[in-house]
Each structure stands twice: as structure tokens, then as C-alpha cells.
Structure 1
């Protein structure tokens, strides 16, 4: 009798824990989507303020940023895998490591990202006036050389 009672309690506890874990995952997915939307809105607001865009331009820019958000935020396959492996197997020495892309794959990704940036810039040019776009391009040029790679 005690064994059956104990077994039923274990089963009930595992069901509750499983249901709780699933609801937390759902909340994290929704939160992640909300954070991305907030990030797009903040980026748009900064650009509106920096370049003096009117309401119509701001709406167009927000729509453009929402469109390109997924393309710019896409990560290469395998990123974040090391942290996941470490969490799953903290004491293991043989945790699998994410594969770095080959030189050809990295060049292909860089080419795609460059094409996406150029397409984005072309769309921004359609939205902004000539003066606004000139200021935008100047900012883009000034931002590039100042970037430094993180030392690992």
C-alpha cells in the first residue's frame, strides 16, 4: 500500500514539474519576441530623433526595421551551443563543441550579410531626404573604423 502511494506521489510530482517547465518555456519565447520588438522600436526611435524624420517617415522606417530585424538578428548555426553543452554536462570533459564555419562558409555568410545591409540602406534611402541620408551615411562610415574585435 505504501509503495503504491509513494509511486503515485512521484508520478504526480513529475507531472507537475513537467507542466511547470513547459509553461516557463512558453513565457521565455513570448518574452524573447517582446524584447526583439522593443529593440526594433528603440532603434527606430533613435534614428527618428537623430535624423529628424517626420511621422510618415518614422512609420515607414519602423516597418522596414521590423522586416529586416529577423535577417540581421539571425545567428549562424551552432552559436550558443557551447553554453548549452556546458549546462547539460557540467562535469563532463567530452562535451561537444560548436563547429566553426569553414572559410568558404564564413565568406558566403559575409557576402549575404553585406547584400542585406546594402538592400537595407537602399530602402532607407527611399524613406529619407537627401540631407537625412547623407547624415546617415556619414554616421555609418564613422561607426565602421571605430569597431574593435573582442580579444579572446
Structure 2
């Protein structure tokens, strides 16, 4: 009986270590965040979506670079992408940030977005900017997280 129990314990130990190694490899293979690549992708996508010319694309890239730094600053308040607090469905983050702090971060992000759109309006034509705002509205309707409401709406 002891041999069977020891064999089971040994097998469980070996399988647990194999699982732990696999998760470590997955984390190592995960792509690192590259702000320059993200700026280039966003600029390229917007240029294709709204039919921007080369001059508009260059100005848009400058604008995206400027505001990517601002957006990173807001995220930096949390200490990175998720602030190392995203585990358990964000429970730790909600515990660490008071409602006032969350509201101030949200307001700063809104001001940032408004400033971005104000400058974007000078780059895009009226028709292009209208298409951009329509796309943003559609995204807001499809994803409640962008509205600040993280709970799914019940029908």
C-alpha cells in the first residue's frame, strides 16, 4: 500500500513540475510590448481605413507618437500594462485604487482622448474625421468597457 501511495505522489510531483515548466515557457515566449510597433500598426491601420495620403500619414504618426507617451503615462500610474495587479479579475487593483483615484484617472484619459481628437481633426478631412468618429461610436456600442461600464448589459 505504501509503495502505491509513494508511486502516486511521485507521479503527481513529476506532472506538476512539467506543468510549471510549460507555463514558464509560455511566459518567456510571449511577445513583449513594443510601443513603436504599436504606434506604427495604429497609424497604418488608420491610414488604410480612412484613405490618408502620405502627408496626413506622417502627421498622424507624429500625433500617435505624442499621445502614445501620454497614454503610457496614465497606465504608468498603475505600474505598467496591468500594474501587476490584474490577477483575480482585477480584484487587487480595485482594492488599491479608491473611487476618487479611478475617477481622476478616467477624467485624465478622457481629456487626453479629447485633445487627441482635436488635433486629429486638423489632420483629417471632414469626411475622414466623420468616418473616424462613426467607427469610435460603433466600437463603444460593441464593447461596454470603452464606456467605462465593465458589466455586460442584460437584455
Same fold (TM over 0.5): yes
Unpaired runs of at least 5, structure 1: 1-30, 84-96
By relative contact order (CA 8 Å, sep 6+), the higher-ranking structure is: 1
For 2:69, the equivalent position in structure 1 comes to: 70
Alignment of 1:131-150 (within 5 A): 131-149=127-145
Q: C-alpha distance in 2, partners of 1:80/1:118? A: 25
Tell me the C-alpha RMSD between the 2 structures: 2.3
Alignment of 1:26-105 (within 5 A): 35-73=34-72, 74-75=74-75, 76-78=77-79, 79-82=82-85, 99-105=95-101
Residue-by-residue CA offset, 1:108-138 (whole Å, 9 max, x unaligned):
1111100000000001100000000010111
Q: TM-score, normalised by structure 1?
A: 0.63
Unpaired runs of at least 5, structure 2: 1-30, 87-91
Residue-by-residue CA offset, 1:13-37 (whole Å, 9 max, x unaligned):
xxxxxxxxxxxxxxxxxx967x210
Q: TM-score, normalised by structure 2?
A: 0.62
